[in-house]
């Protein structure tokens, strides 16, 4: 396991402890992978710039 992955697993443990969420050791790599995946989506959403006067879309239409 690389140092970065170990740092991310340490972060998962800290986040789980903050909300009293027990995560079995065997599940930590999967939780870490999902957290990394979700963060790529956060980066994607945050990269879109919206004007301040943009009206909300109350109904999603694909």
Give the distance from CA 36 to its chain's centroid: 6
pLDDT in tens, the chain (62 residues): 677 888 988 999 999 999 999 999 999 999 999 998 999 999 999 999 888 888 888 888 88
Write down the pLDDT at residue 18.
97
pLDDT at 60: 82
DSSP readout, 5-35? HHHHHHHHHHHHHHTT----GGGHHHHHHHH
The tokens for 40 are: 């790529």
Residue 58, pLDDT score: 87
Distance, CA of 46 to CA of 52 (rounded, Å): 14
């Amino acid at each position: 396991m690389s140092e970065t992955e170990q740092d991310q697993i340490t972060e998962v443990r800290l986040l789980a402890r903050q909300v009293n969420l027990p995560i079995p050791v065997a599940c930590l790599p999967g939780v870490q992978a999902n957290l990394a995946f979700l963060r790529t989506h956060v980066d994607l959403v945050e990269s879109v710039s919206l004007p301040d006067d943009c009206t909300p879309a109350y109904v999603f239409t694909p």
